[in-house]
Amino acid sequence: MKKEIPWTNVVMETRDYTVYKDGFPVTEGHLLFVPKTETWEHLEKCYKAAYAWGYGWVDEGYCDAYNIGQNVGVEAGQTVGYPHVHLIPRRKGDMDDPTGGVRHVIPNKGNYKK
């Protein structure tokens, strides 16, 4: 890996990426998928793995839904200068009205149906 990463709580490791528990979880179970090399191919594998992991969570009843995302650039909230994909489990009732999903990153812009 080219750069030091701040995460230490490893959940699992593959030859292409490592999965960590997020140090500041949004919900219980929030994970980070971090490519071992900073390439599109490895980042794509992180997204595919996060999607499959989230799908499995829903299928097993661990959560009701999930968000997958990435912060790219300071203005988007990126605080670690290495690519990583967030998998955030969502549960019924964790927000009063989750309509709009990731749009909630900007205050009062989430629910566009109101």
pTM: 0.91
The beta-carbon contacts of 38-46 under 8 Å, at least 24 apart in sequence, are 38/2, 38/3, 38/82, 38/83, 42/16, 42/17, 43/83, 43/85, 45/14, 45/16, 45/17, 46/16, 46/17, 46/83, 46/84, 46/85
The fold of 10-105 is: HIT family, subunit A (3.30.428)
For the chain, the domains span 10-105
Task: Please list the pLDDT of the chain residue by residue as tens digits (114 residues).
Answer: 446 678 889 999 999 999 999 999 999 999 999 999 999 999 999 999 999 999 999 999 999 999 999 999 999 999 998 999 999 999 999 998 888 888 888 887 777 776
